[in-house]
Amino acid sequence: MSTDIRHLEPQPIWKNFSDLNAVPRPSKKEERVIQFIKDFGTRLGLETFEDDIRNVIIRKPATPGMENRKTIVLQSHLDMVHQKNNDTIFDFDQEGIKMFIDGDWVRAKGTTLGADNGIGVATIMAILESKDIPHPAIDALFTIDEETGMTGALGLKGGILRGEILLNLDTENDHEIDIGCAGGIDVTASGKYREDTVPAGSIGYTLSVRGLNGGHSGMDIHKGLGNANKIMNRLLYACGQKYGLRIGDLSGGSLRNAIPRESVARVIVGNGLDTAFEKHIQEQAKFIKSELKTMEPGMEIELKKSELPAQVMEFEAQEKIIRSIYTAHNGVYRMSADIKDLVETSNNVAKVAVGKGEIMIACLTRSSVESSKMDLADALRSAF
């Protein structure tokens, strides 16, 4: 981690963000960051405690002259999306995020940065330790497991917080306050398939899609970013009826709320069809790169000959799975008719795993309208 980050302005926020990012904090494994926040509050001499679900609450009295103001709840979540590039060696359970300054940006080396919601946490920490910011009484609420289940928020019991006003520091834009609500539902398809032996004379390949920007499936779904799972499926569909293509295994995406950046498939083609197959993939890759050149300039589609897989997916199941993923909606489903530029309903085809006779496809469907959310969920159910 570059020490220069600690000296960015405003220093109190970047200092705390750097300290926070040195602590491993993947969702559902927040033990270390819970202790980190508790130690922080204790060092400041503030009332600090955990609730039954392991949220951390730190209370700071009002500054002189503001004792009669309403108590404010400042809330951020402690966990982060733990995603890395396939070629990055990193243990989120043991390592802190490795940050560096890139021009006007702070980035992480091969992993997610954790600014969601680390900047919110760091901001609250800066207010709690400040001695020159006038404020009413503050309840600082640090919730757990926001990214994979809202466990901390859902498990928070009534009566613990004293504040009447809650400010959630988990937005993307400076100088804006958002008031709204979006619900989500997991749509997960799973199944089994029969495996076949690899036909004699087959040629093995590894097909990779990587270098995409990725992003948050809520905040970035409208930007037209590439989805590695959908791109991979498009390539497989384009070649599925030709060249004797069969899938050995397939893995794309890692987290339900992250737009997938990478996908890798091991496939075979028939004897003597390798040259035509390679040419076809190159043509398809050219089309896709041209379509996404503005949003995904770093996208790479790579095809390499490799060892044959032990077995391959039986053809009928392969056809069904490729067609169903192709049919599954990804991206914006409906924009709000009432609020300008608001994505009302969307879906992220987040994770695809095929291998050893097992299929799993994970989607996260979001909407601010319950009936629209269920409409899209039913559409996905129908596709699968």
Could you list the active site residues? Answer: 79, 146
Q: 307-336: b or e for each residue (b if 16 or more CB lie within 10 Å)?
A: eebebbbeeebbeebbebbeebbbbebeee
> Is it true that the peptide bond before 117 is cis, omega within 30 degrees of 0?
yes
d(CA 75, CA 127): 12
d(CA 277, CA 283): 10
What is the Cα 114 distance to its own chain's centre?
11
3-state secondary structure of 297: coil
- Which residue, chain included where needed, has tokens 């928070």? 156
Of 120, 121, 123, 97, nearest in space to 110 by CA: 97
d(CA 41, CA 63): 17
d(CA 116, CA 146): 10
3-state secondary structure of 240: helix
- Which residue, chain included where needed, has tokens 């590894």? 206
- Which residue, chain included where needed, has tokens 């992220």? 348
Phi-psi region of 114 (alpha: psi -120 to 50; beta: other; left: phi over 0): left
Max intra-chain CA distance, the chain: 84
The partner residues of 313 in beta bridges, in order of sequence, read 195
Phi, psi of 339 (to 5 degrees): -120, 120
